Amino acid sequence: MAGTAWSDRLRNLTGRRAGTTPVADPLVADLQQALSADRVHDSGVHRALMKKDASVFTGGVSGPLCYPETTEEVQAIMRIAERHDRAVVPRGAGTGLAGGAIPLGAPIVIAATRMNRIVDVDLDDRVAWVEPGVVNLDLTRHLQPLGFHFAPDPSSQQVCTIGGNVANNSGGPHCLAYGVTNAHVVALEVVLPSGEALMLGGLDAEPLGYDLRGAFVGSEGTLGFTTKVAVTITPNAPAVRTLLLSFDTIRDAANTVGAIIADGIVPAALEVMDQRITEAVENYVGAGYPTDAGAVLLAEVDGLADGIAIDADRIGEIGRAHGAIDVRQAATEEERALLWKGRKTAFGAIAQIAPDYYLHDTVVPRAKLADVLDEVYAIAERHDVLVMNVFHAGDGNLHPLLVFDARIEGKLDAVHAAGSEILAASVAAGGVLSGEHGIGVEKQAYMDQMFTDDDMDHQGRLRRAFDPVCRANPGKVLPMGHSCADIAALRSVPSEVWG
């Protein structure tokens, strides 16, 4: 969607112009009484910091910002919001890339920043209870000395939070073998927009009733606020082998991925990077990537030493059979860590080239990877936009990086137009709109490319079962006209907020 179209849609949603913060706002007074004055902010500076997330979308308008520390305080915020007829938006680290945390219509923003405790780790049952503000990598660092880790590992794991991972059902390189966030969440304590707290799921192998836990994971904050999460913890593998395969073309790398899976091997990770992003990464961190290769494939297998030695050798054979010009295994843990550092910092590396990027997120069948990648390059060239490809190749999760300078007139519109065509090409190939970043506002207008009106009606009904008036994160996921979310956003903005 073009940047101008997004701005128009935001104005249509709110129907008002942002202005000064009201004096002696009764809503703010009630929130400060429920929490404390230092944990409720309504200044222009604080609200401005909340108006966007890590996506390219701007123009959000935040209401009061709250920092609860307990479930009871979240309940109090929800009841105050209901009493004042205001919407609420849950917010984690703000690393989302689909605009899911952008506040629309000056809602109350509930930040999970201070709910950051690792509450309990049960090594016998292999479950950890954590609060939503716990940083993903901090959980793994806490578990590593105990012989465990948290398997979902988004590229932003140094800053993204478990609550955000739950909201977007986040993935990561090692989710090929271990599964995305939903596969590692067994129970959730949540607060509904009504203020009611309840437990979804449970530690039993087969909890009774509907899988409401599964419905909540990936709901992007539209059903309520997560206050505690029970996650499964994964034993550290006894042995790991990491390979770097180099190819003349990205097509050869993509075809190798399909051949590895077809051979019966499911590695822990299969990541592909094209030459442009490889050069940027190598200049940035010196990870040891070849800059003259058309693409590289980072493959990792873990498990018992003898078994993974066989798998690693076989992956090398398959790579060579599909055109690999070099196959290298990391000889030390330091070398392995450096290879992964290069992959995990790929998005930061592009700052050497341009100040802005738009990271897309679609999924296509592995058999169609090479063809869709050809289309992605052609689309970018047609719109005169630089594209770099780095992606979770094993599960077909594409992440085209559209790199640009937003200060150049018309460039952002070209980027949005290219992104729209990439979405269409992915869906036409039998793919889906998102693998792990969510729908948010980014892909909201494209939902009808995947779902019928009846499909979206049922999604809306599920939402209203949790939140009858769509008070939670209004204006997200479901397209305008298919949900009460647009109505809720409209009525949540008192005129005095806008001036």
Same domain, 226 and 246: no
Among 235, 268, 302, residue at a domain's last position: 235
Q: Is residue 122 part of a domain?
A: yes
Angle made by CA atoms 402, 14, 86, in degrees to the nearest 5: 110
Nearest to 119 by CA among 106, 105, 99, 133: 133
Task: Determine the residue type at 201.
Answer: G
Q: Is residue 397 part of a domain?
A: yes
Distance, in Å, from the CA atom of 2 to the CA atom of 5, rounded to the nearest integer, reads 5
Residue 488, pLDDT above cutoff 80: no
Tell me the helix, strand and coil percentages in the chain, rounded to 5. 40, 20, 40
Mean pLDDT of the chain: 91
pLDDT tens sequence across 27-57: 999 999 999 999 999 999 999 999 999 998 8
Q: Are 370 and 393 in contact (CB under 8 A)?
A: no
Residues above pLDDT 90, as percent of the chain: 87
Same domain, 385 and 360: yes
pTM above 0.85, yes or no: yes
- What is the domain range of residue 252? 239-347
Among 204, 235, 266, residue at a domain's last position: 235
Q: Are 119 and 187 in contact (CB under 8 A)?
A: no
pLDDT tens sequence across 348-407: 899 899 999 999 999 999 999 999 999 999 999 999 999 999 999 999 999 999 999 999
Domain count, the chain: 4
Residue tagged 């997330």 (tokens): 53
Structure confidence at residue 478 (pLDDT)? 92
Residue tagged 């000889």 (tokens): 331
Q: Is residue 172 part of a domain?
A: yes
CATH number, position 399: 3.30.70.2740
pLDDT tens sequence across 396-430: 999 999 999 999 999 999 999 999 999 999 999 99
Same domain, 293 and 396: no
Among 235, 263, 278, residue at a domain's last position: 235
Distance, in Å, from the CA atom of 71 to the CA atom of 481, rounded to the nearest integer, reads 33
